[in-house]
Structure 1
Amino acid sequence: MSGQPSLFSRASAEIVDLHRFFVDWFVAARANKADFSRFERVMGDGFAMVAPDGQILDRDAVVDHVRTSRATCDDGFAISIEGIRPGWQDAETIVVFYVEAQLRGGKHSRRQSSAVFTTSSSAPNGVLWRHLHETWLQVPEG
């Protein structure tokens, strides 16, 4: 296993890459260059999400929401990922914490996220999303 990036490095890269996909997918002027199949491939079987409002969404609901939200934002939409840090892990699974900051329609928001990843040799960064929990730190203004 010498030379392979750490599980934390792979999960961190996946977080950043997936949010780049979201920007491309949601921004109307960039949506044609986004590969939706990449998103579907990294959402592992049994994936579930706790949205910032407390709603629990299964994999199908998340995939459908993202699919139908294509090209719904203007060029001002942006996401930045801050403060990525590792939580619990073993050889095949890791919990990662990060803050997602968004600018959408001129309104800022921030959410604290924790995500569970498992290893997968077929995934672009070598990990699959298994669980995501988001909590509002800053609800969109307005």
Structure 2
Amino acid sequence: MSGEPSLFSRASAEIIDLHRFFVDWFVAARANTVDFGRFERAMGEDLSMVAPDGQVLDREAVVDHVRSSRASCDDGFAISIEDIRPGWQDADTIVVLYVEAQLRAGKHSRRQSSAVFTTSSSAPNGVEWRHLHETWLQVPER
């Protein structure tokens, strides 16, 4: 057994780290301190995403949306990741399920997410996002 972290450990760390990036990137007071390249390196070239509203996005649309959302939130914006658990996996690919809870402009939302990761030596945490599917558990309050 090698001393290298498991695929599930690396994917879990990536989920947590990427959402920390989002908070820093979206909060106006911290946006200037963030390297957007970190996000781009984590997104696989053929990434696809199913947004909570059912819209299907390719990598370019996801990257463009995140880039254009820079500094769009106040200091109260927060994300927490809950209930991370492994799904199917093989030697180089894993499905990870988790719940993302957000607080934005004083309003709470929650989404169930499933993400597919593959190993990549050039990506943060050694894994890259290949597919993400999000479903509303709690639609943002009005």
The alignment's TM-score, normalised by the length of structure 2, stands at 0.99
Matches of residues 101-140 of structure 1 in structure 2 within 5 Å? 101-140=101-140
1:60 aligns with 2:60: yes
1:45 CA displacement:
1.0
Flag structure 2 segments of 5+ consecutive residues without an equivalent: none
Q: Secondary structure at the match of 1:125?
A: helix
Divergent runs of 4+, >2 A: none
Q: CA deviation at 1:33?
A: 1.0
* CA positional deviation for 1:6: 0.1
- Note the C-alpha offset of 1:123: 1.2
Matching residue's letter, 2:141: E
SS of the counterpart of 1:121? coil
Task: Report whether the alignment pairs 1:24 with 2:24.
Answer: yes
Distance in 2, matches of 1:3 and 1:73, equals 40
Partner of 1:35: 35
Percentage of pairs with the same residue: 86
C-alpha RMSD of the superposition: 0.6
**Matching residue's letter, 2:120:** S
Could you tell me how far 1:117 is from its partner in structure 2? 0.1
Q: Secondary structure at the match of 1:128?
A: strand
Please state how far the C-alpha of 1:100 moved relative to its aligned partner: 0.2
Q: What is the distance in 1 between the residues matched to 2:33 and 2:100?
A: 23
Q: Which residue of 1 aligns with 2:91?
A: 91
Cα shift at 1:93: 0.1
Q: Say how many residue pairs are matched.
A: 142
Other-structure match for 1:44: 44
The Cα of 1:5 is off from its aligned counterpart by: 0.1
Distance 2:99 2:35 in 1: 24
Report the Cα distance in structure 2 between the residues aligned to 1:124 and 1:3, rounded to whole angstroms.
18
